[in-house]
Amino acid sequence: MENTRASSASAALAAAPRRKRGTPVEQRQSFLFLLPSLIAILIFVYGFISVTFYISLSNWRSAAPNWTLHTPLFEIYADLFSNTRFQIDLRNTVVFTLLFITMAVLLGLSLAIIIDYNRRWFAIPFFRNTFLFPYALSFIVTGVAWRWIFNPETGINLFFNILGINNLLAAQGMPPLKPGWTTDPSVVLSINNALSAVIPAAADWRVQLGIPVAIIPVAIAATWQLSGFVMAMYLGGMTTISMELREAARIDGATEWQIYRYIIIPSLAPVTISVIVILLHVSFKIFDLVFAMTGTGPAFATDMPSIFIFEQMFKGNKYNLGTAASIVMLILVALIIIPYLRSQRRGEDS
Amino acid sequence: MKARFLMMLVIVGALLSLVSGAVVAQDETVTGDLEVFSWWTSGGEAAALDALFAAMNASYPNVNIVNATVAGGGGSAARPVLQTRLAGGDPPDSWQVHPGWELFGQYVEPGYVAPVNDIYESEGWNDVVPEQLREMMSRDGNIYLVLAGVHRGNGFWYNKKVLDEQGITLGEALSVDEFFAIADQLQAADITPLCVGDSGIWATAQLLENTLLGVLGPEGYRGLWDGSVSFNSDEVKAAIAVYGRMLDYQNSDHSALSWDQAVDALMEGRCVFNSMGDWAYGEFVAAGKEDNVDFGWVSHPGSEGSFMVVADGFPMAAGAPNPAAAAGWLKAIGSVEAQEAFNPLKGSICARTDCNRESFGPYHNWAMDSFGSGELVATVVHGTAAPADFQQAMNDAVTLFVVDRDVDALAAALAEAAVSAGFASE
């Protein structure tokens, strides 16, 4: 939510001078008013990013600061990318992002359509708020609750006993259904063998490029928390689609499904882009949910770059390695956010 | 004549020491605040800390103790606070530290602590604190820490009832081969032999550490940390292979359990053995289990005769706000009286060899024998044997090993981390 607020605020800022440039005196005044925050941002954002980048090139690897530069200069980054754990983390980020965003967008859109479609029967505010409530919770709370739910001994696995599924399987002479969930270290759909046809070394990689099973429950928990937010964004977008448009379609003989398929969902495309960008940076930076729910997971199956940074810096005192990973994360997020902001700006200028 | 005079001196000296032992010497000249920083907040730990404060109050009645406790598991919340205060030049008078690299790397090298050689000399601790232990706290002839108590890290706990039912009795010691023979027998009876709770990865790293000690022996194990034994050597790989073989016998839900839940599983008989330091003993006592009836212990397979030191100590801050009170604090916690009060509550033994054994139960008397006569070796999992960056790299490598069991990859990762941490050459 904060981000939408921030982006609309920055959009307003960008828009302001275009409407009215003002006299030179006014311009100087507005610059003076902006100056304190400019200085603060220069120091506390860009200054600290620069210091972080400098540390990532230094020899600082203990509790006491060491500001000498490491030679060769970018070796820390080479170390980072050859670190098996970090390779796994990058894989996890990609897999988690794909799973989480797909599920959250589909579920959020479905909820929005159901509520929108049933606007006469359902009390819209009631269901909108019910689905939005998880978003108000802290990720830590969500993580702890879902850790209990997916505990293989005491969680939802008990339902397989209660519902008699395991008795049924036992009668067939089959082993009971007892998934390990977050404790399962296996990686499914690994493409290493397929890749090795192109890159022969892929067969020997320690990191399996596939879907770590343990990350699926984490993606489910994140989806549970954020799909309500996605739904609210879509519901907001739907209110901007005029009733006349729907009526016109109905008069032309479109079914309700066709109205959603060909009119409402296509007109929601800008909302979808905003939703995906917001979810992407949640997903890239996710820490608290994973930390509370699974930690690093078996064989780092649920480890994330943010946890890597935390442990290397504050447990291992490897400040140079941790800051190098932070810079990589910053670049990854920037790769998503900067094109988005630029496209937003272009939309305003035209 | 001369002999009689000497005799007299000895007798007078002995009498004097008796008197000073019976009546705690009070020093009322030391005043002001004493700030002690720790993260002992859970029941038994907090009570043990209070015992140290009581000893301090008894010796220095005019010092006001400020207990700067920051709650949070294992100091994860407290350490950043402490680090910030130290870096900002606002140190507490004393705080909680493990000996070894945690002390050297975090506090000695940046110059946050002062040597306490004079206290060791004035209190006569050089005679009662074992030399191997003092070495873990000394750099360049200076000693930087006073220990309040010592835990034994290489314990191997078992559910005695289950073993009795299977007709298995353990002797004084357990060799690696004997363990595997028993494990096979248990598995044949459909019983999980080994309890591990590695949701905090250090617990299985400790199993590796104990196995390295058990297979390499104390000399070989020490060699790992001074660079004379390479992690890539055949004997280390053999030890890692033993560790991997032990993991074949562990409970399937190990990654969902924490170390204490693994001890619970042992007590419930869901599995039989658990390799853990003697803080596990507190779990047995808290659950009302009886020594040598419900549960028993030996040294981790192959490690009898060695004592893996996991010690709790306090340093003196360099530039301590109240140096006289800080010196008094260290003298108080190093005393026999304070340690006899502190350790039964903390579940550890005295960091000196002259404590009264009667205040301790059968397990701790056994541990005291091992402490007095055994080889003292330093734990890596709890920060003594190697710097924090090695510890982190070891935890990372073990996390991968638990799943893929790649002995060569673990050995290579440890060897590389040892070079990078600076205690081994290429």
pLDDT digits (tens, 9 = 90+) for B69-124: 876 555 667 777 888 888 888 999 999 999 999 999 889 988 999 999 999 999 99
Percentage of residues in chain A with pLDDT exceeding 90? 49
Backbone angles phi and psi of B189, in degrees to 5: -90, 15
Predicted confidence at residue B18, as pLDDT, reads 45
Q: Is B201 on the interface with A (CB under 8 A)?
A: yes
Q: Is A185 on the interface with B (CB under 8 A)?
A: yes
Confidence of residue A122 (pLDDT cuts 50, 70, 90): low
Angstroms from B193 CA to nearest CA on chain A: 19
For residues A184-191, give the mean pLDDT: 86
A216 is a domain residue: yes
A27 is a domain residue: no
Q: Would the CB atoms of A316 and B109 count as touching at under 8 Å?
A: no
Q: Which residues contact B306 (CB under 8 A, 6 or more apart)?
A: B154, B213, B217, B218, B221, B299, B370, B374, B375, B376, B377
A26 is a domain residue: no
Confidence of residue A177 (pLDDT cuts 50, 70, 90): confident
User: DSSP character for A321?
Assistant: H
B414 CB neighbours in chain A (<8 A) are: none
Angstroms from A70 CA to nearest CA on chain B: 13
Q: Is B400 on the interface with A (CB under 8 A)?
A: yes
Count of domains in chain A? 1
Confidence of residue A92 (pLDDT cuts 50, 70, 90): very high
Q: Are A101 and A109 in contact (CB under 8 A)?
A: no
Q: Is B261 on the interface with A (CB under 8 A)?
A: no
| 3-state secondary structure (DSSP) of residue B273 | strand
E-strand ranges in B54-132 read: 63-69, 94-95, 113-114
Predicted confidence at residue A9, as pLDDT, reads 45
A153 CB neighbours in chain B (<8 A) are: 253, 256
E-strand ranges in chain A read: 187-188, 211-212
Predicted confidence at residue A6, as pLDDT, reads 44
- Taking Cα atoms as reference points, which of B199, B380, B406 lies closest to residue A302? B199
Q: Are A285 and A93 in contact (CB under 8 A)?
A: no
* pLDDT exceeds cutoff 70 at B6: no
- The β-bridge partners of A81 are none
Predicted confidence at residue A233, as pLDDT, reads 93
Percentage of residues in chain A with pLDDT exceeding 70? 92
Most confidently predicted of A158-162, A176-180, A218-222 = A218-222
A65 is a domain residue: yes
Angstroms from A97 CA to nearest CA on chain B: 23
Q: Is A206 on the interface with B (CB under 8 A)?
A: yes
Q: Is B110 on the interface with A (CB under 8 A)?
A: yes
A99 is a domain residue: yes
Q: Which of A60, A61, A62 to mutate to test the interface with B (most CBs of B within 10 A)?
A: A62
Domain that holds residue A257: 39-349
Nearest chain A Cα to B406, which residue?
A206
Per DSSP, helices labelled H in B145-258 are 160-165, 176-188, 202-226, 234-247
A29 is a domain residue: no
Nearest chain A Cα to B107, which residue?
A63
A31 is a domain residue: no
Of A12-21, A113-122, B12-21, B320-329, minimum mean pLDDT range = B12-21
Of A64, A151, A298, the CB nearest to B109: A64
Residue pLDDT, tens place only, B31-71: 899 999 988 877 778 888 999 999 999 999 999 999 888 76
For residues A51-65, give the mean pLDDT: 90
* pLDDT exceeds cutoff 90 at A207: no
Count of A-B CB contacts under 8 Å: 72
Q: What is the dihedral of CA A302, A303, A305, A308, to 10 degrees?
A: 170
CATH number at residue A311: 1.10.3720.10
* pLDDT exceeds cutoff 80 at A288: yes
B388 CB neighbours in chain A (<8 A) are: 62-63, 315-317
Residue pLDDT, tens place only, A258-282: 999 999 999 999 999 999 999 998 9
Q: Are A290 and A40 in contact (CB under 8 A)?
A: no
Cβ neighbours around A176 below 10 Å, total: 13
- What is the set of domains in chain B, with CATH numbers? 28-151+309-376 (3.40.190.10), 155-302+386-421 (3.40.190.10)
B31-43 in b/e form (b: 16+ CB < 10 A) is eeebbbbbbbeee
- pTM of the full structure: 0.85
A8 is a domain residue: no
